[in-house]
Amino acid sequence: MTTENKRKDFLSLDAGFPDRVLKTSFYLSVITILASLSYMTVMVTVSFAVGCCISLILYKMLWWTVQHAVQNKRSEIKSFFLKVSLAKYGIVGVILLSVCLILEVQIVALALGLSMVLIVLIMKIVSRILVNFMNTSIKVSSQKIDGVSAKVSKKGV
């Protein structure tokens, strides 16, 4: 196996990866919001919740745009992405402006909420790389344990 093939296997992601990122981000956001309710003020919690909602909406819209462009095989994908991006950021801008005008927003909490999906995405990719690295670096031969043959692949656990 060449180093290029090893690198491709090392960074390979499956088709369900974006959906798992969305689920994990949602559950982590809910848990963090509930924890914030008990330890922080209401405005910090609301700011964090608004940031999480916007982050989840942006991620879902981006994933929908990619799926829609790939499934419909649009000839002008660039213009489709441009239209969707303009609409997406226009809507998010209006939401952020209205929230900032109506509520007393805590900027740090809002920024943490906005970065929730990015944090989960980075954690999942780093953990995937670490697991793939551990699978390729650990070499275990087949051995007998208590008289029973335990056949283990060369990739490891």
For 51-77, what is each residue's pLDDT tens digit? 999 999 989 988 888 888 777 766 677
User: How many whole angstroms separate alpha carbon 154 and alpha carbon 142?
Assistant: 9
Facing residues of 145 across strands?
148
Q: What is the residue extent of each domain of the chain?
A: 3-150
The confidence band for 157, taking pLDDT boundaries of 50, 70 and 90, is very low
For 96-132, what is each residue's pLDDT tens digit? 888 888 888 888 999 999 999 999 999 988 988 888 8
Name the one residue in this structure whose structure tokens are 């900032």: 100
Going by the DSSP 8-state scheme, the letter that residue 76 receives in this structure is: -
